[in-house]
Amino acid sequence: MADNKRQTRVARPTPPDALALPHVVEAIATCLRDQADFSSYLHAVPRSLWTPALTAFLACNTTPPQRMALPPSVLVLLAATLPLRPRIELEFVTRDAARLASLVAVLGPSLSSVTIHLSSNGVANGRGRAMSDLLLQGCPHLRRVIISVVPRRANQLVELNDALGVVAHPHMDHDAVIAFCEALQASTTLRDVVSNVPSLGGFHGRTLPVSLIILDWESRANEIVDDATLTDLATAVGRTQLKYLVCNAFGQLATFPAAAPMLAQLQWLIVSGLHANDMKALIDGLSSVPSLTSLSLHKCSLSSSMELLRETLATTCVHLAKLTVRDQHPTRDG
């Protein structure tokens, strides 16, 4: 009787890793700038995780066209890659907009930069205006247009001015960035993040997983990180178990209360590229990292603040065992 009442146990399927999803694989792949890294990454993950757009892109990449008069089959493949928002550079001689029309009709939404070399009479008879109108209407993401021409008659200068009337409106689509940040937030096993993609910002209000141990987050040289980005970054790292941080905005980050739980347990800190007027914020921030055991300062201007740095480390970072300083302008004894 007990056997009849016993319910058959069904094994629960193991949920997939938050990073092992097609749209996340696509987001990661499109952040890779190096062709070798892009190819290595894609071939390291199962083909079942490739989105249709990635599959089409790889097909185009393995059989590149030999001329710009692309056959319909290649145009179909290129159209399938549009969700990736690829950057395509067109380099061929044209006399008018007609030769661009078929390409722009298919690829226009993905074009961000176009370089056009016009023949000496290529902008005559209203062709400059037609070229400009075609690019403006068919390329909503266009950011840069380079037009090269050697006009021979005065009227061609007017036509060229019409061609140069193309106005590129900057456009940024955050869909892939947000998808990636949400995948990071959902992960339960992630331990190391290196972020040098400006569009990721401070992870856009998403939190990084508790499992995170290492974070390399640096802004570009001489860039002022705004408060909104720092607020997001503080929110992102606050609940992590971070032990190792590379961050040239550490001084500012330390002023945000949301980052305090992470900073209290931080053990390794690397900061680079600070000017003399940035050092006070860095030194003030050291009071928030009492568990610090290693501090590395690379290419920081310490000549006027070395004494204050040593005093602060001696009184607030009592567990510090290693200090590495590579000063741009070292003091005589530093």
Would the pLDDT of 314 be above 80? yes
- Measuring CA to CA, which residue among 124, 113, 107, 132 is closest to residue 158? 124
CA dihedral 72, 77, 79, 81 (to 10 degrees): -160
At the top level of CATH, the class of 186-327 is alpha beta
Three-class secondary structure of residue 225 per DSSP: coil
> Which helix (H) or strand (E) element contains residue 247?
none
CA distances from 96 to 93, 114, 151 (A): 10, 15, 14
Would the pLDDT of 131 be above 80? no
Domain boundaries along the sequence of the chain: 17-82, 87-171, 186-327
pTM over 0.85: no
Q: Which residue has the higher pLDDT, 148 or 200?
A: 200
Mean of the per-residue pLDDT values of the chain:
79
Q: How confident is the model over 177-197, as pLDDT tens digits?
A: 888 888 889 988 889 888 766
Half-sphere exposure of 187 (CA within 13 A, CB side): 23
